[in-house]
Structure 1
Amino acid sequence: MSYEGTANLKIVQGLYAAFAGRDLETIRAAIHPEFVMRQSDLLPWGGRRQGPDGFLAFLGTLLSHVGPALDIEALYDAGDHVVQFGHSHGTVIAHGTPFRVPEVHVWQLRDGLITSYQVYVDVPAMLAALTPLPETA
């Protein structure tokens, strides 16, 4: 008997590796045509996106605001879902402010492709990092 969860974990791990290498072709190939993602509308890259093009647009907007990296602290197999706990860190493009915020990613998979992605991040902490510090005299 095969264990589908193991395959799902490998798919999500591969997606994280592709993002770290900015391998958009591999990312696109992992996304189901009916894919839907959601992240808080309060973030400049947040909102609801659909399909592979929507996901790549999300990544483009994200990367135009921050230079992010991910510290994965835990990755859980939850059947047709994979849940990741960790921290996003990097710098804000506009003013170089460093950030490190806790986050959770919830991925859903079907037939070896990612069908949904929900991002939960510490929104107040991320917004604080995005806000430039006032100049001192």
Structure 2
Amino acid sequence: MSIDNTEVIRQGYDAHARRDFAAIFATLHPEVEFVQTDLVPWGGSHHGHEGVREFFGKLNARIETQVVPEEYVEAGEQVAVLGHIQGKVRATGHEFTLRIVHIWTVRDGLVTRFEAYIDTPAMLRALAA
């Protein structure tokens, strides 16, 4: 029995909360694409597992975060996740909380695309504080 797209995404967030990156990568298609505004230091378009490793490396070098999903909206292959992130800037210890919208595309049980939308002005202020 296959799991639905929302459950694939829930499992990914649970793995992230445990910092279980092997479990995260098990949910990602080999040609996955991660996209976030290039206004943040870890932003841009990251392709394949190597690109996702680069994304997480840049992200985790600058901030420590916990994603808190509040609502899942499934629309065919896409799953929108509304919620917030709580975190801390590693360089300064400055804490932040900001809203997020994540758009995931799932095909045949694997994530093929991830788009991260965050309160970018608030994130930039936190990084500068």
Fold in common (TM above 0.5): yes
Once the two structures are superposed, what CA deviation does each residue of 1:36-82 show, in whole Å capped at 9, x if it has no partner?
Answer: 12101010111100012211221121111111011211111111111
Aligned partner of residue 43 in structure 1, secondary structure? coil
Check the 8 A contact 1:28/1:56 in 2, yes or no: no
Question: How far is the alpha carbon of 1:10 from its aligned partner?
Answer: 0.8
Question: How far is the alpha carbon of 1:29 from its aligned partner?
Answer: 1.3
Question: How far is the alpha carbon of 1:114 from its aligned partner?
Answer: 0.3
Aligned partner of residue 92 in structure 2, secondary structure? coil
Q: Following TM superposition, where does structure 1 have runs of at least 4 consecutive aligned residues deviating by more than 4 angstroms? A: none
RMSD: 1.4
For this pair of structures, how many residues does the alignment match?
129
TM-score normalised by structure 2 residue count: 0.94
Provide the identity percentage: 39
Q: Partner of 1:135 in structure 2?
A: none
Q: Partner of 2:45 in structure 1?
A: 48
TM-score normalised by structure 1 residue count: 0.89
Q: Is it true that 1:60 corresponds to 2:57 in the alignment?
A: yes
Question: How far is the alpha carbon of 1:13 from its aligned partner?
Answer: 0.4
Letter of the aligned partner of 2:45 in structure 1? R
> Which of residues 101, 115, 118 in structure 2 aligns to 1:118?
115
Structure 2 residue runs without a partner (length 5+): none
Q: Partner of 1:109 in structure 2?
A: 106
Q: Partner of 1:69 in structure 2?
A: 66
Letter of the aligned partner of 1:18 in structure 2? A
Is 55-64 or 8-17 further displaced after alignment? 55-64
Distance (Å, rounded) in 2 between the aligned partners of 1:31 and 1:117? 10
Structure 1 residue runs without a partner (length 5+): 133-137
Distance (Å, rounded) in 2 between the aligned partners of 1:57 and 1:63? 10
Distance (Å, rounded) in 2 between the aligned partners of 1:52 and 1:76? 26
Letter of the aligned partner of 2:110 in structure 1? L
